[in-house]
Amino acid sequence: MSGAIVGRFQAIYPPFNWPLAARTGRRTRPTDVSAAPQTATPVPSYLAPRVAAVVAPYTDEGHAREFARLGWQQIAVLLGPGLLPAGAAPEVHGEFARTVLHDGGLRRTVRQLRMHQVRAVVAGSPMGVALAERLARELELPGNDPASTPARCDLGAQTKALAEHGITAPRMLHTTSLTEAQEWTRFCALPTYEVAPADTGVEVRARVCRTAQEIAEAWQSVSGALPRRGGRRPALVIREYLPGRRYVVHSLSGRGEDGTPEHTVTDAWAQSFTATGELDRMDLMSRHGLLPRVLSLYVLQVLGALEVSTGPLRCEIAYLPERGPVLLNARAFPEISAAGHCARTALGSDAFRDAAHAAIFDRSRRPVRSPGPLHLTRIRLLPTADGVLDRWLLRTITTLPTVTHADSTLMARAEVRSGVCPGEIVLRSSDEGAIEADFRVIRAVERLGLYEGARS
C-alpha cells in the first residue's frame, strides 16, 4: 500500500518546471494574467471528496450502506427506460446524495461522474455489472476489463473462454431458438439435459429434461420467467446435465503490489438437493479437506480464464469423479440474501465490504476467521402444500440451540406456497452433531404441521 501512496504523491507533485527566462536567460514580455485561460488547480487526492458511484442499485442497499459507513458519499447511476426490461420499474435501494441517469450515452455519463469527482465504481445489481466495468475503465478506476465482460455475464461466453484455456466445462448450446436446441440434442444424443438462462445474473432455476417434450416444456418455462428487452426473445442455453455433487465457491480479487491480479477464495459450500431437485441445504466445507483444495485450484483457473482482476465472483460447480470440477455458472456479483450475509459474516467475510474495499483500494481483503472448528449450515424450508406458518411450531424451530439466524419472512401466520421457499435458517456450532440433530428436528416439525397454522 505504501508504494501506491508514494505513486499518488508523485502524480500530484510533478517535477518543478522553471520559467522560460530562468532557463534561457532571455527576457520575456509580461502577459496579461486575466486574459490567459484559467485552469483549475488539481486537488490532491487526499483532499478530494470521497464519492462512489453505485450502478443500477436495484437489488440491495448493502453497497450504499457500506460506503456510508466508510464516510463516502454515494451517487446512484440509474438505467434509462430503454435499457430496462419491458414494463420493469425497479426500486432503488439505499440513500444517495444524487442520481445520474444513464440512457445509453456513455460519454455523457462519464462526464457527469467526473464532474462529481467519483473515485470508486461498483455494480448495485447484476444488471449494472457491464456498465460499471465500462465506467470504471473510462474513469481510470479499479475494475475488470470491459472487453471480457461477456465471459462474466453470459454462460455461452463463459464456456468458450474456459475451452480456450483448456479448462473443463459442460457441453452446451447458446441459442434463442427451441428448434436449434432440439436439433442439437438429437446430434448429441445425451441421456439428460438442462435448460438455463444464458444471463448469469438472472435468478431462474435451471430445468432438467430428457425427452423432446420435456425440453419444449422446460424451454417455455425458463423463457417465460425471463425479462424481455426490446421485444427480443431471451437467450437460453441447453447443456448436458451433470449428476455429480454441486458446490458454491466465493472468491475476491484485487491487484497486488506489482499490479498483477491476486485472488482469494473466501469460502466453499456443499449443496444437497431433494429427490425432486429442490435445494435442501448448504454446508460450509472445511478449509483443510482435499476436495475444497481441488475446488479452490479450479476456481483460480476459472478466474484467470474469465479475466477477473477486481471484485467478487460466485462459482457454482459440479464435481464428477471421472471429470473433476466443472463450472456451471460464474457470477460477478455477490449473493443477496440475509441468510447468506449472516453465514459469511460468521466467517469474517462481508460481500459488500469486500466489494467496496476492492473498488476503493483495488486490493482483495482477506477474511479473518475465528480460531477453532466452525460448522455452518443453511437450511431452506420446503413447503409441500399451500398453507400458513404455525406460530408455536415456528417458534420451536427458530429457538433451537444452534440457530443463529432466521429470515425475517418467517413470521407467524405468514402464507406459504407449495414448492416456494419462504425463508432460510442458519445453524452454527462447533459441534457438527448438534447441527445434524437440529436439522432433523426442523424437518420433523415440517412434517408435523409447520405449514398448517391458523390464518387468524
Please give the sequence-ordered ranges of beta strands (E in DSSP) within 341-398, or none if there are none: 375-380, 387-388
Chain segment 256-278, per-residue pLDDT in tens: 778 788 898 988 999 999 988 88
CA 210 from chain centre, in angstroms, equals 31
**Do the beta carbons of residue 445 and residue 379 sit within 8 Å?**
no
Instruction: Classify domain 171-240 by CATH architecture.
Output: 2-Layer Sandwich (3.30)
Contact 197, 204 (CB under 8 A): yes
Full strand arrangement of the beta sheet holding 236-240 = 172-175, 236-240, 193-197, 207-209
d(CA 161, CA 305) in angstroms, rounded, equals: 6
- State pLDDT tens for residues 204-257: 889 999 999 999 999 999 998 887 766 678 899 999 999 889 999 999 888 877
Residue 381 grid cell: 424450508
Q: Are strands 51-55 and 118-123 parallel, antiparallel or unpaired?
A: parallel
Would the CATH topology of 171-240 be identical to that of 242-369? no
**Dist. CA 316–CA 332, nearest whole Å:** 12
CATH architecture designation of domain 242-369: 2-Layer Sandwich (3.30)
The domains of the chain are located at 46-141, 171-240, 242-369, 373-456
Strands 279-284 and 311-320: unpaired
- Strand partners of residue 282: 271, 378
pLDDT digits (tens, 9 = 90+) for 2-48: 444 333 333 332 332 333 333 334 443 433 333 334 444 444 444 45
What does the pLDDT look like over 97-132, one tens digit per residue?
899 999 989 999 999 999 999 999 999 998 999 999
Helical spans, DSSP H, in 225-305: 290-305
DSSP 342: H
Percent of residues, the chain, with pLDDT higher than 70: 86
Q: Which residues of 192-212 are buried (b: 16+ CB within 10 A; e: fewer)?
A: ebbbbbbbbbbebebbebeee
- What is the rounded CA–CA span in Å between residue 178 and residue 200? 20
Measured CA to CA, the distance from residue 196 to residue 132 in angstroms comes to 25
Instruction: Provide the strand spans (E) within 80-140.
Output: 98-102, 118-123
Distance CA 59, CA 93 (A): 7
Render pLDDT for 55-106 as a digit per residue (tens, 0 to 9): 999 988 888 888 988 899 999 999 998 888 766 778 898 889 899 999 989 9
If you count them, how many residues does the chain have? 456
Long-range (24+ apart) CB contacts under 8 A made by 279-282 are 279/380, 279/421, 280/379, 280/380, 280/382, 281/377, 281/378, 281/379, 281/380, 281/439, 282/248, 282/377, 282/378
Task: For residue 195, give the 3-state DSSP assignment.
Answer: strand
Mean per-residue pLDDT of the chain: 85
- Short-list 205, 214, 147, CA closest to 181: 214
pLDDT confidence tier of residue 453, bands split at 50, 70 and 90? confident
Q: How far is CA 379 from CA 255, 426, 433, in A?
A: 36, 6, 15
Rounded Cα gap, residues 71 and 183, in angstroms: 56
User: What is the CATH class of 373-456?
Assistant: alpha beta
Classify domain 46-141 by CATH architecture: 3-Layer(aba) Sandwich (3.40)
Sequence letter at residue 229: R
